[in-house]
Amino acid sequence: MNRTHRTQLFSAVESGSAPEPQRVLGVIPARLHSTRLERKMLREIAGEPMLAWVYRAARACSQLQQVYIATDAEEIMALAQRFGFPAIFTPSDCPSGTDRVHVVAQAIAADIYVNIQGDEPLLRPEHLDALLTPMLADHTIEVATLSTPCPPAQVHSPHAVKVVADTHGRALYFSRATIPFDRDNAGYGAYRKHLGIYAYRKRALDRFPSLPPSPLESIEKLEQLRFLENGIAIHVSQTPYDTRGVDTEEDLAAVEVVLTARLLG
């Protein structure tokens, strides 16, 4: 075998074994107004705005090429500029975080978009790694999300969304109710709590706004049910790390204790 042939053969094998890299973009939808805790994105936790905690945790994930804040609020844009966080204006009438991510996807090209809740300051890079690893390995996964063991105190709480998945990790259903229902009180203890972080391939994300809000989505007030009702599977990755979203003053105080301990530790 001559040198030229060896080089051509090596190049062919190399190109066949190395898949095209996928561009992954993180998006943090950030509204200023909130029903239960007004202006929570700007509230300080351990000396930093909540949004800064979320952004820095997301940026620490090596699988994200970039992270953008998506907002319709001048004050949040000003905060982003002050901290040097990339941000993009989105319309004020976006009905959901997914719609806001979709707006970003029309302006900035990527293969996968990650919807990162702006009120999750306990976000860790490990959450995003667990979310993205299966999706990067399996191109058939259109949408992915996360679950963690549900703390016993939250099993019956409508504020903790429960998820049931099949043996392949595909979501069967999400609910604010306690699912599955332990009819015989057998002591079932494997409840899974849904963590509201999502990854979408662009083709699935582009379909979302064209689909009307589904009946189950409207009843449960869970936008991910629109995907399931329209036959778009959601892969549910698992993580041992729980989070606590900030919706109340009590949540804010509890999260501050955790983050202060991290700073001191």
- How far is C-alpha 121 from the geometric centre of its chain's CA atoms? 13
CATH architecture of 21-148+193-264: Alpha-Beta Complex (3.90)
Q: Do β-strands 192-201 and 112-115 pair in parallel, antiparallel, or remain unpaired?
A: antiparallel
Pick from 125, 119, 30: which is nearest to 69 by CA? 30
CB distance 184 to 207 below 8 Å = no
> Kindly report the CA angle at 264 between 263 and 265, in degrees rounded to 5?
95
- Cα-based distances in Å from 242 to 124, 138, 169, 237: 10, 25, 18, 13
- Note down pLDDT in tens along the chain; length 265 residues: 444 443 333 333 344 555 678 999 999 999 888 777 889 999 999 999 999 999 999 999 999 999 999 999 999 999 999 999 999 999 888 888 899 999 999 999 999 999 999 999 999 999 999 999 999 999 999 999 999 999 999 999 999 999 999 999 999 999 999 999 999 999 899 999 999 999 999 999 999 999 998 999 999 999 999 999 999 999 999 999 999 999 899 999 999 999 999 888 7
Spell out the domain ranges in the chain. 21-148+193-264
Which of helix, strand or coil describes residue 113?
strand
